[in-house]
Structure 1
Amino acid sequence: MSLINVSNLTFAYEGSYDNIFENVSFQLDTDWKLGFTGRNGRGKTTFLNLLLGKYEYSGNISANVTFDYFPFHVENKEYMTLDVIEDIYPDYLQWKLMRELTLLKVSEDVLYRPFDSLSNGEQTKVLLATLFIKENSFLLIDEPTNHLDIHARKLVSDYLSTKNGFILVSHDRSFLDNCVDHILSINKTNIEIQKGNFSAWWENKKRQDQFELASDEKLRKDIKRLSESAKRTGNWSHEVEKSKNGTRNSGSKVDKGYIGHKAAKMMKRSKNIEQRQQSAIDEKSKLLKNIENSESLKISQLTFHKNQLAELDDVSIFYGDKTVCANISFSIEKGERIALSGKNGSGKSSILKLIYGVDLKYTGHIRKDSQLKISYVSQDTSDLQGNLSDYAASNGIEESLFKSILRKLDFSRLQFEKDISAFSGGQKKKVLLAKSLCEEVHLHIWDEPLNFIDVISRMQIEELLLDYSPTILFVEHDSEFCKNIATKVIEL
């Protein structure tokens, strides 16, 4: 066991006026299975890169371990997988590699295939196996689940639960709950560490938020009462002071010394109340420090004139001579939230594209009304660029509504000034989702909408779908999300 000590860490990207971290201090044990969570753009990947020594910073990070980062950069994806592994770790031992691949249920034959011929899930498992055959390293695992189906996520989560000595960035609640024993969270104003899994951390956070909200409400009432009292006392002392120059009803002279003394006492009391009021205001500034902005989202889906929006009858899809999926039949009824489930490569994305209107080679029948309007969210965000205003204009959506949704999804106003290409993966995905929520359609089709998106935003999206019950067809590998949202599951 050894410790990683972070003290007074301060960091900002060159040219930025805002610090990502400011005077942050904490301590990590290298035996922990550490889940790393926080909203998109808070600096999770940045912190991992600081541990790796990629950026200059002020403060101190001390550790008696070396760090290894997942995912590895693969320079030559056309190489045989065995050669790719050797490029990453030239001194690996064959028996150790086979042990890890067996645990991950990857067959030996993948080693003798070009790396780029492997599915995304196979590539992830091979690189994880390579990561865990390295010794004396503390492992930095950055979002390994994004290209894994539900079954593969469970397998990888079980695999990680047998290991220790890592930081795992993931937004999948079930995945984290199964394989971590501590949570490192980047909050609005601090970084905190807590023993337990994600669900335990989330319950504690909700209790802490409720305590802060209750304290804030009491403080607001106190401030209002003190403010009114101070105002009354100030008025009294002012009126008494004025009376020094007046006369009594009897016509006798006023005792100016007595009245001046009384006014001074009342003024002093007024000042004391003002000081108490200021102390209360100062205390208030300490509250609500980590309450996350998770306002409710809204969706305005058009009403379709028929109960059935679309139907697939015995559909098979082909890429060249390869059959992607075969004999698929189902219908989409108004108000249904349908999850397409199946292993990677089973044709889920192809079905979504076909219903949306992408020109694919297929047999069978697809029936949908010519008046049906569909909003589609793709897995791919690589082509996003330009500023948000131009993006809204080019897609024919209302800019103010679009930016309002992004604000609710934790975008800062400073983010609105940046080029979309500079956004994090989660922020880019939020752009696609915000666009979809702005579009007036009958059916939403979302292909892995939650990739890279933080947990709190996932919960906001869940709440939206449960509150408004739009008709939606989606593919998503977050098992908690599917369990909470889907009214029907179609297994391929």
Structure 2
Amino acid sequence: MKKAQNTLKRTEAGIEQKQQLLKNVETPQVLTLNYHPLSKTFVTVQDLQVIRGERQLLNSALNFELKPGERLVLQGLNGSGKSTILHALQGETFLISGGTVHWAHQVKISYVSQTFDNLSGSLQEYADQYHLELSDLLNMLRKLGFERQTFQVDLSQMSMGQQRKLAIARSLCEPANVYLWDEPLNYLDVITRQEIETLITESQPTMIVVDHDTTFTEAIGTKYLSI
């Protein structure tokens, strides 16, 4: 009788352990970001005008401030100059034909580009380029749904959706005070879109975002500027 009871206890313990392991596998990994908030105005833009080549892009000069916790959404038609503005804000002065951009001292910007034309090499090389631990980058990619076999693929051979997830994973991993994201939801599946939206609304980072998904921008934006 005693032997049978011990056997039953071991069996129940084994079942409980397997159920816990299964639960851990099925529990979704929550996205995180390496955000370091500041307590001062991040950037002040006064009478900004931008150009592409010799063409003036904006109908009127831009004036705005970005304060802690604010998420500015730039709105406008394709080709109106939204991406150019993001580049100009990062110090590409040849794009600026007038006005000033003043960032707070030592602000760290994390930028996600709209395009990845020059992306190539291994994940290790990519991590090294951005001074990240490869393990941190891989872990974030797994949270974004990357299959492990994809880790060995050259970056140039990845799909547009995979390249987009890679850029977002890198941005979430690197330490930053403010995020500049140019159409971050392009080529992403619905689940990943919802995860990113949840991350932003819960973490409340400071951002400037360009995206044509109005459901997303209305959910995460705190102020809007039409170009």
Common fold, TM-score beyond 0.5? Answer: yes
Q: Could you say which residue in structure 2 is the equivalent of 1:99?
A: none
Tell me whether 1:361 sits opposite 2:129 in the alignment. no
Distance 2:41 2:191 in 1: 33
Check if 1:390 corresponds to 2:158: no
1:319 shift after superposition: 2.3
Aligned with residue 446 of structure 1, among 156, 160, 181: 181
Letter in 1 for 2:199: L
Residues 413 and 491 (structure 1), Cα distance of their counterparts in 2 relative to 1, 3 Å cut = same
Structure 1 residues 88-487: aligned runs within 5 Å = 235-236=3-4, 294-304=28-38, 306-325=39-58, 326-359=60-93, 360-487=95-222
* Deviation readout 1:359-384 (Å, 9 max, x if unpaired): 32320121112411111110111211
Q: Assess if the C-alpha contact under 8 Å between 1:316 and 1:364 holds in 2.
A: yes
1:292, distance to aligned residue in structure 2 (A): 7.8
Structure 2 distance, partners of 1:485, 1:324, is 26
Deviation at 1:296, TM superposition (A): 1.3
Residues in 2 aligned to 1:330 and 1:407: alpha-carbon distance in whole angstroms: 37
Structure with the bigger RCO (C-alpha within 8 Å, sep 6+) is: 2
* 8 A Cα contact 1:294 1:457, kept in partner: no
Q: Let me know the Cα RMSD of the aligned residues.
A: 2.6
The range that moved more, 367-376 or 442-451, is: 367-376
Q: Contact 2:48/2:96 (CA < 8 Å) preserved in 1?
A: no
For residue 54 of structure 2, what is the amino acid of its counterpart? D
CA displacement at 1:311 relative to structure 2 = 1.3
1:237-260 CA deviation, whole Å, 9 max, x = no partner?
Answer: 999xxxxxxxxxxxxxxxxxxxxx
d(CA) in 2 for partners of 1:329, 1:341: 14
TM-score normalised according to structure 1 size: 0.41
Q: Is the 8 A contact 1:294 1:460 kept in 2?
A: no
Work out the CA distance in 1 between the residues paired with 2:215 and 2:146: 24
Gaps (5+ residues) in structure 1? 1-231, 240-269
2:27 and 2:222 map into 1 onto residues whose CA distance is 28
For residue 447 of structure 1, report the CA deviation from its aligned partner. 0.5
Q: How many residues align?
A: 216
Does the C-alpha gap of structure 1 residues 353 and 293 become closer, same or farther in structure 2, counting only changes over 3 Å?
farther
What residue identity is the alignment partner of 2:108?
Answer: K
Q: Is the 8 A contact 1:293 1:408 kept in 2?
A: no
CA distance, structure 1, for counterparts of residue 156 and residue 45 of structure 2: 37
> For residues 315 and 424 of structure 1, do their structure 2 counterparts lie closer, same or farther at Cα, with a shift above 3 Å needed?
same
Give the secondary-structure state (helix, strand or coil) at the position aligned to 2:42. Answer: strand
1:474 deviation in Å? 0.6
Paired AA for residue 114 in structure 2 = Q
Q: Conserved in 2, the CA contact under 8 Å of 1:312 and 1:366?
A: yes
Q: What amino acid is aligned across from residue 168 of structure 2 in structure 1? A: L
- Asked whether the 8 Å contact 1:295–1:460 carries over to 2, the reply is no
Which stretches in structure 2 are left out of the alignment for 5+ residues? Answer: none
Tell me which amino acid in the other structure corresponds to 2:102. R
Aligned-pair CA distance for 1:407: 0.3
Mapped partners of 2:153, 2:99: distance in 1: 46
Query: In 2, distance between residues paired with 1:482 and 1:490?
Result: 12
Q: What code does the residue aligned with 2:104 have?
A: D
Distance in 1, matches of 2:27 and 2:159, equals 19
Q: For residues 342 and 336 of structure 1, what CA distance do their matches in structure 2 show?
A: 19
Alignment partners' CA distance in 1, 2:6 and 2:132:
58
8 Å Cα contact 1:465/1:485 also seen in 2: yes
The offset of 1:320, in angstroms, is: 3.3
User: Residues 391 and 237 (structure 1 numbering): CA distance in 2 closer, same or farther, change over 3 Å?
Assistant: closer
What is the DSSP-based 3-state SS (H/G/I as helix, E as strand, rest coil) of the residue aligned with 1:308? coil
Q: How far does residue 323 in structure 1 lie from its aligned partner after superposition? A: 0.8
Which residue identity is paired with 1:443?
A: V
Contact 1:317–1:324 (CA<8 Å) still a contact in 2? yes
Residue identity opposite 1:340 in structure 2: L
- In 1, Cα distance between equivalents of 2:5 and 2:203: 57
Contact 1:315 1:365 in 2 (8 A): yes
C-alpha distance in 2, partners of 1:396/1:416? 18
The structural deviation recorded for 1:303 is 3.1
1:328 positional shift: 0.9
Contact 1:319/1:361, CA 8 A, preserved across alignment: no
CA distance in 2, matches of 1:441, 1:407: 21
Q: Secondary structure at the match of 2:57?
A: strand
Bigger mean CA offset, 355-364 vs 471-480: 355-364
Identity over aligned pairs, percent: 36
